[in-house]
Amino acid sequence: MKRIFKLNNFGWIVAGILFLILAFKMTPKTNVLPSKNEVPTEAITPTETAKSYLVLVTKIIDGDTLMVKINDKEESVRLIGIDTPETVDPRKTVQCFGKEASEKMKELVENKMVKLEADLTQNDRDKYNRLLRYVYLEDGTLVNKKLIEEGFGFEYTYKIPYKFQVEFKEAQKLAEEKKMGLWADSVCPTPTIQKITPTIAKQQIETIKTTMDPIRIVQNNSGFVCDCSKACTKISSCEEAYFQLNDCVCSVRDNDGDGVPCESLCN
């Protein structure tokens, strides 16, 4: 009887070990973020927007462009949905509130860890090979939107609407109403082209068009000019169509109200 009791004890020990092994295998694994700068480049492509990682901001170029380090390689990042006054473009003079926008970006992210997020509606990179991204602080603040909210930049749509377009447009509208940053009285007495936005351009056009050819009211850096009488068949590109809709407030470009102008060009 004594011998049987010992065998039973041994059996219980074996069963306990097997139970612990099974419980360990069934425990769900948690995702662990890679350490600083150890971020696989393929993890931040537009096809994997759910995967976003913390990266180190190494340098601020201007209010809407920065440098980050990914896998010990520096990459240039252009913020989606915002355009700030120019400070470094050799083709242009420093624009009003450009330095303030750059300083604000430095205050927010320089030498800090940020989260990058791509947008499936946009290209992965722009024509200058910069990553197109939303930038988040570690506390979840969306930097792109914050800069617009505080009047350091303008909402900017490039060709097609992006994920947060409605939010960013509303953020700019509120910034204008509150006279934040560059929208404050007498801050920028000679507004940049971008400052003539849909929220104020409509009133400006109505005031001016009786005494001035509306074709010359607004002109952007791509050489496009406002002309609401211009048919879509005469418009050169989808980019120009968006310029006519967003910058010139030519609502005729979007008769069905879906936010896409001249659908023969932009679909």
Say yes or no: 94 and 133 in one domain. Answer: yes
Contact assessment for residue 131 and residue 116, using Cβ atoms and an 8 Å cutoff: yes
Across the range 238-246, mean pLDDT stands at 78
Mean of pLDDT values over 41-60: 63
Q: Averaged over 173-196, what is the pLDDT?
A: 77
Render the burial of 95-117: b for 16+ CB within 10 Å, e for the rest: bbbbebbbebbeebbeeeebbbb
Residue percentage of the chain with pLDDT more than 70: 62
Domain count, the chain: 2
Domain that holds residue 236: 196-266
Residue 249 in any domain: the answer is yes
Shared domain for 169 and 259, answered yes or no, is no
Q: What digits encode the pLDDT tens for the residues 109-143?
A: 999 999 999 999 999 999 999 999 999 999 999 99
Looking at residue 106, which CATH number applies to its domain?
2.40.50.90
Q: What is the pLDDT of residue 253?
A: 67
pLDDT of residue 14: 66
Residues labelled catalytic: 78, 86, 130
pLDDT confidence of residue 129: 94
pLDDT at residue 34 in the model = 40
Residue whose token pair is 């407030």:
249
Question: Could you report the per-residue pLDDT of 69-99, keeping only the tens digit for each?
Answer: 998 899 999 999 999 998 665 555 668 888 9
pLDDT at 50: 40
Same domain flag for 178 and 200:
no
DSSP state of 208: H
Phi, psi of 189 (to 5 degrees): -60, -30
Tell me: do 168 and 235 sit in the same domain.
no
- 179 and 210, same domain (yes or no): no
Name the more confident of 83 and 224: 83
Averaged pLDDT for residues 200-228: 49
Residue 114 lies in a domain: yes
pTM of the model: 0.56
pLDDT at residue 258 in the model: 62
Cβ-in-10-Å burial (0-12, 13-18, 19+) of 124 comes to middle
Say if residue 157 is in the same domain as residue 215: no
End of a domain among 155, 183, 211? 183
Does 116 share its domain with 231?
Answer: no
Question: Does the structure show a pLDDT above 70 at 193?
Answer: no
pLDDT at 237: 82
Per the domain annotation, does 210 fall within a domain?
Answer: yes
Q: What is the pLDDT of residue 119?
A: 95
